[in-house]
Amino acid sequence: MAKGQIRKALSGFYYVYSDGKTYQTRARGNFRNRNITPLVGDEVEFKFDTLKEGYILAVEPRKNELIRPPVANIDQAVLIISCKEPNFSENLLDRFLVYLEYNNIVPILYFTKTDLLDESGYYQVKEYADYFEKIGYHVLMPLLGHPDELVATISTLFSDKVTVFMGQTGAGKSTLINKISPELNLKTGEISQYLGRGKHTTRHVELIPLEGGLVGDTPGFSAIDIPQMETTELSQQFIEINEASQSCKFRECKHVHEPKCAVKAQVAAGEISQERYDNYLQILNELENRKPMYGKNKR
């Protein structure tokens, strides 16, 4: 029996990396009965007869997992944010951040397609970028007229970490990875003019050794599901709202109608972004009106 890490999943096979070699394996038949689905990024125990014939026997406990994209044990996510084509959406950005914060994945915000903006549009998006940096996020937004200036900076962040690239379809994930490491030659696609959405060009999840770490390119999507959580947990996923909430009068304040709410006071004072607060209220409303999912784990 050996130990290794799943680096790729494709057509029912799991490609496990162990001691410098990659083994093609399948999951044991009883995994399905036990409701276990191995994921890329999993640390596993497996046995093999040859490099092409092996079986996964056990999956080690995960520190986190994502369903969309299906990856486990992620340290950080480079969140690709398109400034134009598709247009910048703070609502979508906040949804991605809630998704990552809830799963204990460190976000790195990278703004793409700045070269498609005029000066006015650039500084409008930069106001948002500056705000996210102020509240504590690692933000990378190229200077006006220099869209590729931070490509080298990203690659310095991969060492000893599992990193995934995320973002809506057409935001430029595969294009960016190609610039970081052209030999990977990841397939890129043209933006579909229909509704300004891109075509899905990434067909599977794979972790690729790069700059001392592992990176994955993942399918993009224009909408994202909010994780199953209690309504009282939502404010914890908004850094500045969570910090301000420590001064609210009520311990489980939802920051909507409650008196002496420190969050609403900071919004009124301009210290918390009105757009972020509005997005928080929208997601809170969705959680309150969501049908319960009986028999399923929340997390």
pLDDT in tens, 208-256: 888 899 987 666 666 678 888 999 999 999 999 999 999 999 989 999 9
Q: Is the pLDDT of residue 271 over 60?
A: yes
Band the pLDDT of 170: cuts 50, 70, 90: confident
Mark whether 212 and 82 lie in a shared domain.
yes
Which CATH number covers residue 70? 3.40.50.300
Binding residues for GTP, as ranges, are 112-115, 167-175
Taking phi first (over 0 means left), then psi (-120 to 50 degrees means alpha), and beta for anything else, what does residue 12 get? left
Mark whether 80 and 193 lie in a shared domain.
yes
Mark whether 173 and 280 lie in a shared domain.
no
Residue type, 131: Y
Neighbours of 8 (CB within 10 A): 18
Distance CA(45)–CA(177), nearest Å, equals 31
> Mean of the pLDDT values across residues 176-185?
75
Tell me, rounded to whole angstroms, the distance of Cα 97 from its chain centroid: 7
**What pLDDT is attached to residue 198?**
44
Mark whether 155 and 244 lie in a shared domain.
no
Distance CA(123)–CA(115), nearest Å, equals 12
78 three-class SS: strand
Which CATH number covers residue 49? 2.40.50.140
Mark whether 165 and 250 lie in a shared domain.
no
Question: Are the CB atoms for 109 and 139 separated by under 8 Å?
Answer: yes
Distance CA(7)–CA(9), nearest Å, equals 7
Answer whether residue 29 is part of any domain: yes
Instruction: State the total domains in the chain.
Output: 3
Query: pLDDT (tens digit, 9 = 90+) per residue, 52-94?
Result: 999 999 999 999 998 767 899 999 999 999 999 999 999 999 9
Taking phi first (over 0 means left), then psi (-120 to 50 degrees means alpha), and beta for anything else, what does residue 288 get? alpha
Q: Is the pLDDT of residue 33 over 60?
A: yes
Distance CA(15)–CA(30), nearest Å, equals 19
- Report phi then psi at 186, rounded to 5: -65, 140
Bridge partners of 140, per DSSP, are 110
Token pair listed for 294: 């009986």
Q: Which residue has the tokens 């162990």?
A: 18
Query: pLDDT (tens digit, 9 = 90+) per residue, 101-151?
Result: 999 999 999 999 999 999 999 999 999 999 999 999 999 999 998 988 898
Which CATH number covers residue 239? 1.10.40.50
Binding residues for Zn(2+), as ranges, are 248, 253, 255, 261
Mean pLDDT value across the chain: 88
Q: Is 160 exposed, middle or buried (0-12, 13-18, 19+ CB in 10 A)?
A: exposed
Mark whether 108 and 139 lie in a shared domain.
yes
DSSP 116: G
Binding residues, as ranges, are 112-115, 167-175, 248, 253, 255, 261
Question: Are the CB atoms for 151 and 136 separated by under 8 Å?
Answer: no
Mark whether 156 and 40 lie in a shared domain.
no
